[in-house]
Amino acid sequence: MLLRWYRIPMAVPTAPSARTQVRRLPERGAYEPAVVHAILDAAFLCHIGFVHDGAPVVLPTGYGRRGDDLYLHGSSASRMLRTLRAGVDLCCTVTILDGLVLARSVFHHSMNYRSVVVFGRATTVEDSVEKLAALAVIANHIAPGRWDAARRPNPHELKATLVLKLPLGEASAKIRTGPPKDEEEDYALPVWAGVLPVRLAFGDPQPDPRLSPGVPPPPRVRG
């Protein structure tokens, strides 16, 4: 089983905006682009929150990052994505669970995690060159080298795909690490406490039933 490892880089502190300021347990907040980028690069799925037809909506989707921009994609026929392309305010979140924190008291049970929140407005990628480059970023984020290994979109598929770009100018991270934090008097209780690590693992590749004979999984899929 292969694990997706990560590293949180050190960076020079960056001031948060009014919306990205972490107010609950502010010592867990981080605003440096390098920290935000590292978490986004380690995850696969984000959730986009916005208001659609007067009701709040949360849409899970894949993404890819290039520099200080996040690329999202979906069907051009999607009503919700058409709402996003109109420039509405949105919130994009990513969370990676790293461990279950089991304390001596129920009150202090928690989780170790890395999360990112991005506020902003997405714009449509209209230029065909940038659109292809954005789709390459998304494909290679899912599986490195996949853009060169698979057939690329034809004109019809490209037209049917909507690509949005979300700047990361207003983003923050929140991270919890370490053991439980119990009340001082609870440390003497005969209750096991600690962290149960959680890691994303990849199993053995499962070939498509219609895969042509003699086509092995590429090294980057196996590895």
pLDDT at 13: 43
Amino acid 66 reads R
DSSP state of 186: G
Match 């347990």 to its residue by tokens: 25
pLDDT at 194: 98
pTM of this prediction?
0.86
pLDDT at 178: 96
Q: How far is CA 22 from the centre of its chain?
A: 19
CATH 2.30.110.10 fits 14-187, yes or no: yes
Q: Where are the domains of the chain?
A: 14-187
pLDDT at 212: 94
Amino acid 175 reads I
pLDDT at 38: 96
pLDDT at 83: 87
Task: Find the DSSP H helices in 50-95.
Answer: 79-85
pLDDT digits (tens, 9 = 90+) for 132-174: 999 999 999 999 999 999 999 999 999 999 999 999 999 999 9
Q: How far is CA 93 from the centre of its chain?
A: 7
pLDDT at 53: 84
Q: Is the dihedral of CA 30, 33, 38, 44 positive or negative?
A: positive
Full pLDDT tens readout for the chain, 223 residues: 333 434 444 444 456 677 767 767 666 667 789 999 999 999 999 999 999 888 999 999 999 999 999 999 999 888 878 888 888 999 999 999 999 999 999 999 999 999 999 999 999 999 999 999 999 999 999 999 999 999 999 999 999 999 999 999 999 999 999 999 999 999 999 999 999 999 988 899 999 999 999 999 888 787 7
DSSP state of 143: S
Look up residue 185 and give its two tokens.
């008097």
